[in-house]
């Protein structure tokens, strides 16, 4: 048995133990066994974490990791441009090797940024070889991953069945589930079209499939007119909605729909920065909050923005505070007496809520005995962090990638003292650049 003792850190557990100002964490193999002010464990490998704040590993609940080689390409595109140039354009020239290198480097970057769990929403996978390549990238990276198997969205060629009329390829989801059954760090789910992007028949098939296979059905909702207006109501009447459904981002849903979906236990993921950038609208955060619920957060697109989840928490917090402040001023003619969203709440979106969305809150998302040892050491004795009066505020508002000192997944260090471990990055970055040049060049975009 390998035991690790992290000593002398400020620990933000996001769990029953709250925030401990100076404490130790004992880890045995992949599991946290104790968190206390002082732990003695003579046989353990000791890690001096003085000056660090320990947080649960961050959870990125929604990212199209296949776009890593296209960083910045879509930075100035709105959603209609993105559909045309990305899904009907650049996406069509991806070979399996492009999926592999993008997913591998994208996942390594997540680890580097303090993300220990990545929901990879992979919808540029026209053959099983594309899926295998993407999954291999996730496994090679060492991140904890949820592979959401999606389907491509090209413009239909003459005589071809358009993607919105094609039921989700169940056999491929089953093949992937079987191939990766029992893996500690990988789960397989379905990234389906849902009634906004498909016919009713397809949505019905896909929701039923997810329920029968026991996987999460995650879908995009919003952006242009729905393919099946009124589809949600039909699916609800048929009993096909429930906890297995995850909606991203969902702005156009009515208050009644939102209330009903919360009642059914469906989950919501926001990609605050991406949503605002591409023209979706404002994240659902405030509307969910009124219903006693909260979103998980995702980066969505590295082709638009940075993969850093702490930035996502800060952006999502900022926009919701702004909306709430403006609403208060309009209603009362004054600035509200205090802020609606706290730093702790924002941190919960990228930890607790991500775990809840993935239905793994019993294993990850907080620091507590019995849970998986997925954690991040945030260096706080630095120019941009001292003095730390409020550790949670310091992490959410002051910390950046420069402070992500060490990252552990399932008891294994993936990053220590600012460096990723066991990875020869340069050849991978060269391969990523070559892939990006090839894809962009094929479409003559640059
Ligand atoms: Zn998305």
Our CA angle for 333, 337, 339, nearest 5°, is: 110
pTM of structure = 0.98
Res 445: pLDDT: 65
Count of CA atoms in the C-beta half-sphere (13 A) of 243: 6
Tell me: do 37 and 76 sit in the same domain.
no
Pair 326, 273 in one domain: yes
Residues 30 and 96 in one domain: no
**For residues 52 and 403, what is the distance between their CA atoms, to the nearest angstrom?**
9
For 300, the 3-state DSSP assignment is strand
Centroid of ligand 1 to alpha carbon of 123 (angstroms): 9
CATH of the domain at 11: 2.30.40.10
Q: Which among 252, 308, 258 has a CA at the least distance from the CA of 275?
A: 252
Cβ distance 198 to 165 under 8 Å?
Answer: yes
Q: Does 427 fall in a domain?
A: no
Same domain, yes or no, for 274 and 409?
A: no
Last residue of a domain, one of 349, 382, 406: 349
Are 104 and 208 found together in one domain? yes
* 38 CA to centre of ligand 1 in angstroms: 44
Q: What's the half-sphere exposure (Cβ side, CA atoms, 13 Å) at 338?
A: 3
How far does residue 191's CA lie from ligand 1's centre (Å)? 10
320, part of any domain: yes
Which residues, at least 6 apart from 125, have a Cβ–Cβ distance to it below 8 Å? 66, 99, 131, 134, 149, 150, 151, 152
Centre of ligand 1 to C-alpha 248, Å, is 7
164 burial level (CB within 10 Å; 0-12, 13-18, 19+): middle
* Residue 234 covered by a domain: yes
51: CB partners within 8 A, 6+ apart: 379, 380, 381
Q: How far is the CA of 300 from the centre of ligand 1 (A)?
A: 5
Q: If you measure from the C-alpha of residue 34 to the centroid of ligand 1, how many angstroms do you get, rounded to a whole number?
A: 37
Spatial separation of the C-alpha atoms in residues 341 and 31, rounded to whole Å: 32
Q: Are residues 167 and 122 in the same domain?
A: yes
43 CA distance to ligand 1 middle (Å): 46
Which three-class secondary structure state does DSSP give residue 101? helix
Is there a single domain that holds both residue 44 and residue 32? yes
Query: Residue 354 Cα, ligand 1 centroid: separation in angstroms?
Result: 15
Say how many Å lie between the CA of residue 365 and the centre of ligand 1.
22
Q: Using the mean position of ligand 1's atoms as its centre, give its distance from the Cα of residue 299 in Å.
A: 9
In the reported structure, the alpha carbon of residue 119 is separated from the centroid of ligand 1 by a whole-number distance in angstroms of: 11
Ligand 1 centre to CA of 291 (Å) is 24
Classify residue 441: in a domain, yes or no: no
What distance in angstroms lies between residue 164's CA and the mean position of ligand 1's atoms? Answer: 16
Q: For residue 275, how far is its CA from the centre of ligand 1 (angstroms)?
A: 9
> Are residues 247 and 174 part of one domain?
yes
Quote the ligand 1 centre to 423 CA distance (angstroms).
Answer: 28
**Opening angle at CA 177, ends 421 and 371, nearest 5:** 50
The answer as to whether 127 is a domain residue is yes
Q: Provide the residues around ligand 1 (an ion) whose CB is within 5 A.
A: 300
Ligand 1 centroid vs 220 CA: distance in angstroms?
6
Q: Give the CATH number, domain containing residue 241.
A: 3.20.20.140
* Alpha-carbon span 365 to 373, nearest angstrom: 10
- Domain assignment present for residue 432? The answer is no
- Asked if 379 contacts 52 with a C-beta cutoff of 8 angstroms, the reply is yes
Closest listed residue to residue 235, CA positions, set 265, 201, 212: 201
Which residues partner with 377 through β-bridges? Answer: 54, 406
What pLDDT is recorded for position 281?
87
Q: What are the distances in angstroms from CA 20 to CA 53, 89, 144, 287?
A: 10, 51, 26, 32
Distance 197 CA to ligand 1 centre (A): 13
**What pLDDT sits at residue 215?**
98
Q: Are residues 50 and 198 in the same domain?
A: no
Task: Please identify which residue in the block is written with the tokens 């594309």.
Answer: 130
Ligand 1 center–CA 73 separation, angstroms: 16
CA of 149 to the centre of ligand 1 (A): 13
- Is 411 inside any structural domain? yes
Residue 377, both tokens? 């050491």
> Distance, CA 121 to ligand 1 centroid (Å)?
7
List per-block mean pLDDT (blocks of 10 residues) for the chain, which spans 446 residues: 96 98 98 98 97 98 98 95 93 97 98 98 97 98 98 91 97 98 97 97 98 98 90 98 96 95 98 91 95 98 96 97 97 96 98 98 98 98 98 98 98 98 98 97 76
Does residue 195 form part of some domain? yes
Q: What is the pLDDT of residue 446?
A: 53
Sheet architecture: strand order including 58-63: 58-63, 115-122, 144-149, 186-192, 217-221, 245-249, 267-270, 296-297
Q: Is the dihedral of CA 94, 100, 103, 109 positive or negative?
A: negative
Gap from CA of 28 to ligand 1 centroid (Å): 36
Tell me: do 295 and 385 sit in the same domain: no
Residue 176 CA, ligand 1 centroid: distance in Å: 21
Same domain for 323 and 274, yes or no, is: yes
201 alpha carbon – ligand 1 mean position (Å)? 22
Token look-up 């059914």 returns 264
Residue at a domain's end among 349, 365, 384: 349
Q: Looking at the structure, do residues 49 and 157 belong to the same domain, yes or no?
A: no
d(CA 120, CA 91): 16
Nearest 5°: the CA angle 58, 367, 420 is 45
Q: Ligand 1 centre from 49 Cα, in Å?
A: 36
DSSP per-residue letters across 316-381: HHHHHHHHHHHHHHHHHSS--SS-SS-HHHHHHHTTHHHHHHTT-TTTSSS--TTSB--EEEEE-S
- Of 315, 334, 349, the position where a domain reaches its end is 349
Domain count, the chain: 2
Rounded to whole angstroms, the Cα distance separating 85 from 74 reads 9
Q: Which domain holds residue 276?
A: 58-349
């Amino acid at each position: 048995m390998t035991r690790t003792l992290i000593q002398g850190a400020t620990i933000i557990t996001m769990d029953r133990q709250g925030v401990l100002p100076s404490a130790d964490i004992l880890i045995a193999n992949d599991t946290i066994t104790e968190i206390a002010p002082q732990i003695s464990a003579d046989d353990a490998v000791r890690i001096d974490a003085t000056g660090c704040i320990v947080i649960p590993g961050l959870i990125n609940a929604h990212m199209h990791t296949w776009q890593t080689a296209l960083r910045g390409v879509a930075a100035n595109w709105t959603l209609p441009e993105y559909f045309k140039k990305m899904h009907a354009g650049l996406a069509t020239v991806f070979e399996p090797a492009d999926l592999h290198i993008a997913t591998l480097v994208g996942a390594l970057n997540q680890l580097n940024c303090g993300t220990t769990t990545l929901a990879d929403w992979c919808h540029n996978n026209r053959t099983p070889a594309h899926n295998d390549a993407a999954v291999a990238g996730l496994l090679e990276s060492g991140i904890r991953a949820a592979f959401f198997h999606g389907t491509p969205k090209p413009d239909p060629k003459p005589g071809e069945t358009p993607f919105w009329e094609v039921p989700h390829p169940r056999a491929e989801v089953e093949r992937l589930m079987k191939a990766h059954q029992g893996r500690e760090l990988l789960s397989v789910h379905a990234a389906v079209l849902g009634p906004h992007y498909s016919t009713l028949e397809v949505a019905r098939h896909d929701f039923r499939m997810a329920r029968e296979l026991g996987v999460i059905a995650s879908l995009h909702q919003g952006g242009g007119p729905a393919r099946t207006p009124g589809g949600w109501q039909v699916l609800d009447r048929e009993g096909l909605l429930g906890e297995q459904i995850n909606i991203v981002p969902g702005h156009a849903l009515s208050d009644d729909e939102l209330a009903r979906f919360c009642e059914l236990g469906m989950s919501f993921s926001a990609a605050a920065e991406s949503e605002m950038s591409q023209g979706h609208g404002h994240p659902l955060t405030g509307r969910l909050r009124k219903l006693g619920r909260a979103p998980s957060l995702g980066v969505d697109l590295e082709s638009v923005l940075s993969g850093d989840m702490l930035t996502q928490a800060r952006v999502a917090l900022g926009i919701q505070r702004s909306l709430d402040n403006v609403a208060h001023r309009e209603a009362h003619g004054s600035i509200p007496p205090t802020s609606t969203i706290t730093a702790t709440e924002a941190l919960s979106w990228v930890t607790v809520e991500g775990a809840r969305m993935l239905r793994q809150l019993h294993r990850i998302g907080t620091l507590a005995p019995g849970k998986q040892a997925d954690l991040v050491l945030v260096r706080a004795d630095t120019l941009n962090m001292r003095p730390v009066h409020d550790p949670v505020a310091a992490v959410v508002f002051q910390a950046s990638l420069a402070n992500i000192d060490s990252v552990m997944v399932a008891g294994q260090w993936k990053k220590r003292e600012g460096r990723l471990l066991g990875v020869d990055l340069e050849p991978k970055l060269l391969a990523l650049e070559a892939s990006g040049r090839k894809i962009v060049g094929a479409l003559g975009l640059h």
